Amino acid sequence: MVATHGNLIIGQSGGATAVINASLVGAVEAALADERIDGIYGMRHGIEGLLKEDILDLRQQPAHIWSQLRYTPSAALGSCRYKLQEHDLERSIEILQRHNIRYVLYIGGNDSADTAHRLAQTAQQLGYELQTISIPKTIDNDLPLTDHCPGYGSAARFLAMATMDSTMNTISIPWHYPVKVIETMGRDAGWMVAAAALGKRDERDAPHILLLPEQPFNAERFLQQVEETYRRIGYVIVVASETIRDSKGQALGAIGQVGTDAFQHPLLSGASQYLVDLVRKELNLRARFDKPGDLQRMASNMVSSVDRDEAYLVGYRGTQAVLAGETNKMVALVRHDEPTYHCETALVDLAEVANVQRLMPAEYLDESKTMVTQAFIDYALPLIGEALPHHAQLITKG
């Protein structure tokens, strides 16, 4: 089916990133260039804004805003974490129909893909001609059927640099706090934790221990690794996911749990505090933690140019897809490493994406399951853009 004239609306959802606006700009600029699209609108705060009919006319924005927004972090339209209820579905379609919106682009991760999928299904059931495309975005990098997710490359770059820089402070006075825990985001997949090792060039370099949410936490083994590393090197850098769990599936951060979000995902706090307390108590070593928090997703000074360009690309291709009559699909990145790294796009069925997570493959972790392999390094390095720096250290022996 080839699209006819109609209005287009775009929404942003989930945790905002440093490059999510590049996807918005790509989608808008593709729409502005095509005469088949009449109105171009934005949902203010995602699907919640649509339900409130809080809609922004994007054609009324000054022309220069788009080139600036491409380099601006966070979600310019505003984001949300709202799960569509059954009674919302028909109302959503009624609102779209009232505004003659025939094309929907929804930028987000797993839960956002679910929202786009349900909108597409409901429109089909009600007989309303609507093209709905999901545009991928998540620092968690856990969407299936795409090589990687826009947002991840920049967050990975930030964490790699943050680990390298924070380690330099520990090296300067290692006996003060010889054990440091850096806590990362990442709900169920360890892609963010793994990214901290992208600046590691030899066995002594930090990080020394990675704690991923896919791997059950074993306190005895962890303490043994910490003690062995401390004796060998004189300090220990641990990078841990905020959602690491014990063998019973209990999140270590549950001691600070502050509820759940709309999709019933626990809002956790406390994994790094738990680990620090454990090291202090059992090994009698001074320990502290760093929690970069939102900076992992928002640090504009750490944006990967590759990530930004790919975010723009999937947005642009999303508009092209709805105009080609595609619906209930997600734009995916298809990787090519020859002659040099680059990505093309493809469309994949949302039914195979919504609420599905891609965890870290076994070949990306070594036998200990607490460090990445060269296979992961080869996968992730092209995504973070410019090469990471080498931090120099004085030679103090020999």
Query: Residue 143's Cα: distance from chain center in Å?
Result: 9
- Residue 392 belongs to some domain of the structure: no
Is residue 113 located within the same domain as residue 249? no
Give the number of other Cβ atoms within 10 Å of residue 207's Cβ: 29
CA distances, 85 to each of 55, 82, 105, 114, 264 (Å): 20, 9, 20, 12, 13
How many domains is the chain built from?
A: 2
| Distance (Å, whole) CA 397 – CA 234 | 15
Is residue 82 located within the same domain as residue 220? no
- For residue 167, list its beta bridge partners: none
Q: What is the DSSP string of 92-139?
A: HHHHHHHTTEEEEEEEESHHHHHHHHHHHHHHHHHT---EEEEEE--T
**% of the chain exceeding 90 in pLDDT:** 87
Range of the domain at 100: 6-150+301-352
- Residue 168 belongs to some domain of the structure: yes
User: pTM, whole model, 2 decimals?
Assistant: 0.93
Q: Catalytic residues, which ones?
A: 140
- Provide the pLDDT for residue 247: 87
| Distance (Å, whole) CA 116 – CA 124 | 12
Is residue 313 located within the same domain as residue 287? no
Angle of CA points 64, 36, 78, to nearest 5°: 45
Bridging pattern class, strands 329-336 and 342-349:
antiparallel
Q: Is 355 left (phi over 0), alpha (psi -120 to 50) or beta?
A: left
Is residue 204 located within the same domain as residue 246? yes
For the chain, what percentages of helix, strand and coil (3-state, to nearest 5) are there? Answer: 40, 20, 40
| Distance (Å, whole) CA 35 – CA 49 | 26
Is residue 144 located within the same domain as residue 280? no
| Distance (Å, whole) CA 275 – CA 253 | 10
Domain with residue 269: its CATH number is: 3.40.50.460
Euclidean distance between the first and final Cα of the chain, in Å? 73
- Residue 390 belongs to some domain of the structure: no
Is residue 117 located within the same domain as residue 131? yes
Supply 210's token pair: 């990675």
- Residue 136 belongs to some domain of the structure: yes
- Residue 245 belongs to some domain of the structure: yes
- Provide the pLDDT for residue 269: 54
Supply 10's token pair: 């775009």
What's the one-letter identity of residue 330? M
**Residue 100 burial (C-beta neighbours within 10 Å; 0-12, 13-18, 19+):** exposed
Please, are residues 202 and 258 in contact by the beta-carbon 8 Å criterion? no
* Tens of pLDDT, residue by residue, the chain (398 residues): 455 679 999 999 999 999 999 999 999 999 999 999 999 999 999 999 999 999 999 999 999 999 999 999 999 999 998 889 999 999 999 999 999 999 999 999 988 999 999 999 999 999 999 999 999 999 999 999 999 999 999 999 999 999 999 999 999 999 999 999 999 998 889 999 999 999 999 989 999 999 999 999 999 999 999 999 999 999 999 999 999 998 888 888 665 445 554 555 554 457 999 999 999 999 999 999 999 999 999 999 999 999 999 999 999 999 999 999 999 999 999 999 999 999 999 999 999 998 889 999 999 999 999 999 999 999 999 999 999 999 998 988 75
Is residue 247 located within the same domain as residue 373? yes
Is residue 241 located within the same domain as residue 377? yes
| Distance (Å, whole) CA 130 – CA 308 | 29
- Provide the pLDDT for residue 121: 96
Domain with residue 13: its CATH number is: 3.40.50.450
| Distance (Å, whole) CA 26 – CA 3 | 19
Is residue 95 located within the same domain as residue 184? no
- Provide the pLDDT for residue 266: 52
Who's near 252: CB < 8 A, 6+ residues apart? 217, 244, 245, 246, 270, 271, 274, 275
- Residue 398 belongs to some domain of the structure: no
Supply 198's token pair: 């992208």
Is residue 143 located within the same domain as residue 175? no
Is residue 85 located within the same domain as residue 216? no
Is residue 215 located within the same domain as residue 338? no
- Residue 191 belongs to some domain of the structure: yes
- Residue 393 belongs to some domain of the structure: no
